[in-house]
Structure 1
């Protein structure tokens, strides 16, 4: 039985004491080689058996904690690898915090040996905002947390830091649980808090008193979180600066022809909305909002008097106008981050039926982002007043997209995107009006930066 228990991975760490009447050396060796942790002669007193059992359980607890430390250190690389293979600008604060919670609260490998709850909150102005995670079965349950910063800092001050952490003696009282935004945390013991660079990490509900092993792992986790947060924020700042440069180039081209930036702002906003409705990834939505603004950047290479004419165009004039797609791609060459903008600049006049230019592409040969901008650009052009035509109403523009006219046909557009556009026509119109008023939500990283008090 002893050999079977020790051979089974799920029971191998259970301490075993063998009681026997045989005091021979051979018997003692046989018991120890079978995996027994201790050996006693019968009958043995109850108090001695209890003392030996408690000693073995203390040793097992230390062994378990050391094993957890080994597991966590081994998995720390997995935590980092989850993010380093992606652009830091794609990370969200919630995603990083949730990954950390999964790491600290762990999986099913060592049940009953991990904390019950983990708070990961960041100070933003006068409040801490973030989440509290707890394991429910095989899932992590997240509770959104927003609590006053002054009250939390006062609570931390009541537990002076030692070894880089605030260790809370005793249990969480009901008032503190309410303060932490989770009343059901009252009564939990084994509480430790780490606060650095506005990032606060609180683990609670360890099955034993928090010691060296737990502190070392939590400090490592907190340093990772802090580093990832700083990298993420710097990447968002860099992306924002890049977007502002893209805006400047798009504005130069738009002012050259129209003297206003309204059209490109609306095309950017509508393209992002259509991509979002189509289920595109958040990063794609963010980048098409910017890249779509550069769809006509190539027009800056065309003489203004030619751009402003709509009649008496010769065939060479038409060919020159069409070259703005190729010129736009050339202007945007050389930067990896402008690949989407290059696709849009060159291909936003391609048609689903193959009748467009400059390459006569058809169907899904046309890049996805260019198919989106093809539709939003035509819609906004129909809605906009030009020297050679009046602005159409929302309903009139939709009718032309759906039924066609002398210049626009439904088979110019990706049929799936056109149906999605028409099915969400009222939302599209509201988005256009919002963009026209200068209120464009979700425009790159600035929303999150503004939320953190770093300027809009």
Structure 2
């Protein structure tokens, strides 16, 4: 848990959850109840001992909701909170990762979720006595919906705190379908609570059914996990192929060695600072940065490596690399929207760029980001016909083009974060220097005064 926000979030949930748990323990200790709730508690803990891993995120689910919901229907909210918190404790102890903050969160979050959800039900029902289907069905649905939303979002935010993945994407991709598990548990709870002869025999039958469901669901999740792992391996292979192709392009243009890698680091960092959070768009930015100069394979090497300024005819030939690159990538079924970023990364905000003369927001957002960082890196890199500019001077030149060549918002954001981003690039190239004795052209990085242009 590296971020300050993440630590604060986990601490807040823990404090609130243990407050709910403490109040519930006091209620359980002072209010007489039928001992049958202890049997339900035992089954809740038993079900909690066999969690199911959700593929792709550090989160677990288990089939104990049916018993917890039954406790709410028959005995009230307080015993359900105690049972679910203890189940969370058991789940955490059954895993290898037993950090105190994780144990505390996995007890506090269920306490909050079921405690608040049970209050929704209490406020919307007249009676929860067995046999009163007409008075409990809709409140039970309300409780189930409230529990699912609280439980899934509290966990999705915890995943964000631990991994940095956007919570709404985590929720949509990994938790939304789990609502079926909650409603299945509520259905079982409704049947249990309304049986005329509720007892150990009935619970034994229900437990057997739930065990069969658990085995089937766990097998399904295992197949999903295998498919996810296979897709991740294919993605790694895909990225490796892109990087190999990018290195081949980089090697052809001797004047811009290292440019592609630096642009990639700057582009991805700038995109994140501009609020881009969708993993697909981030990966598109990463891949497009690697391939933004792929069209240079159509440009003769004597033009690419000319030790001087290009003639108008040579410059026209050089400009073809944007459209050629876009055409090449448009024929490939990439997982991310790459081709338009590559084709339009030399368009200008005022419409005077190439190849299509797009202007303003008609230029793809990724291309507007690429345009700024591509220009900045070119200015701060050595060329056969000029020396590299200091970071401050290059940044001032970029700022002067705000609203004419570049998107003003992108330039303003880059101005604010460029020192941080370029320092990351310098650190990355230093790592490469240690890893390999053959180093590409160094990046000038920010000058000491660049933080305050």
TM-score by length of 1: 0.55
Quote the residue 2:283 is aligned against. Answer: 286
Indicate whether 1:437 and 2:437 are aligned.
no
2: distance between equivalents of 1:264 and 1:121? 47
Structure 2 CA distance for partners of 1:304 and 1:294, relative to 1, 3 Å? same
Q: Deviations over 1:48-94 (max 9, x none)?
A: xxxxx99xx79xx99xx9xxx9xxxxxxxxx99xx9xxxxxxx7322
Indicate whether 1:245 and 2:241 are aligned.
yes
1: distance between equivalents of 2:380 and 2:97? 45
Quote the residue 1:234 is aligned against. Answer: 230
Contact persistence 2:376–2:398 (CA under 8 A): yes
Contact persistence 1:333–1:342 (CA under 8 A): yes
Structure 2 CA distance for partners of 1:108 and 1:366, relative to 1, 3 Å? farther
Indicate whether 1:363 and 2:360 are aligned.
yes
Structure 2 CA distance for partners of 1:261 and 1:231, relative to 1, 3 Å? farther
1:311 positional shift: 5.2
Indicate whether 1:298 and 2:262 are aligned.
no
Q: What residue ranges of structure 1 are gaps of 5+ in the alignment? A: 1-52, 70-78, 84-90, 145-207, 441-456
1:243 positional shift: 0.7
Quote the residue 1:308 is aligned against. Answer: 305
1: distance between equivalents of 2:256 and 2:352? 30
1:310 positional shift: 6.8
Structure 2 CA distance for partners of 1:384 and 1:410, relative to 1, 3 Å? farther
Structure 2 CA distance for partners of 1:370 and 1:107, relative to 1, 3 Å? farther
2: distance between equivalents of 1:320 and 1:411? 24
Q: How does 1:94-243 map to 2 (within 5 A)?
A: 94=58, 97=59, 100=61, 105=65, 111=72, 115-116=84-85, 117-118=87-88, 119=91, 128=97, 133-134=106-107, 135-138=110-113, 139-140=150-151, 211-243=207-239
Contact persistence 1:352–1:413 (CA under 8 A): yes
**SS state at 2:383 partner:** coil
Contact persistence 2:68–2:84 (CA under 8 A): no
Structure 2 CA distance for partners of 1:311 and 1:388, relative to 1, 3 Å? closer
Quote the residue 1:86 is aligned against. Answer: none
Structure 2 CA distance for partners of 1:253 and 1:217, relative to 1, 3 Å? same
Indicate the structure (1 or 2) with the bigger Cα radius of gyration.
Answer: 1
1: distance between equivalents of 2:92 and 2:274? 32
Indicate whether 1:267 and 2:231 are aligned.
no
Structure with the larger strand share: 1
Contact persistence 2:347–2:357 (CA under 8 A): yes
**Matched positions, count:** 291
Structure 2 CA distance for partners of 1:322 and 1:395, relative to 1, 3 Å? same
2: distance between equivalents of 1:424 and 1:290? 22
1: distance between equivalents of 2:238 and 2:98? 28
Structure with the larger helix share: 2
TM-score by length of 2: 0.55
Quote the residue 2:398 is aligned against. Answer: 401
Structure 2 CA distance for partners of 1:213 and 1:439, relative to 1, 3 Å? farther
Q: Deviations over 1:87-135 (max 9, x none)?
A: xxxx7322xx25x36x755899654677543437998xxx558966341
Quote the residue 2:22 is aligned against. Answer: none
Higher RCO (CA 8 Å, separation ≥ 6 residues): 2
1: distance between equivalents of 2:248 and 2:66? 53
**SS state at 2:404 partner:** helix
Q: How does 1:337-356 map to 2 (within 5 A)?
A: 337=334, 340-356=337-353
Q: What residue ranges of structure 2 are gaps of 5+ in the alignment? A: 1-33, 73-78, 114-149, 160-202, 434-453
Structure 2 CA distance for partners of 1:355 and 1:128, relative to 1, 3 Å? same
Structure 2 CA distance for partners of 1:356 and 1:121, relative to 1, 3 Å? farther
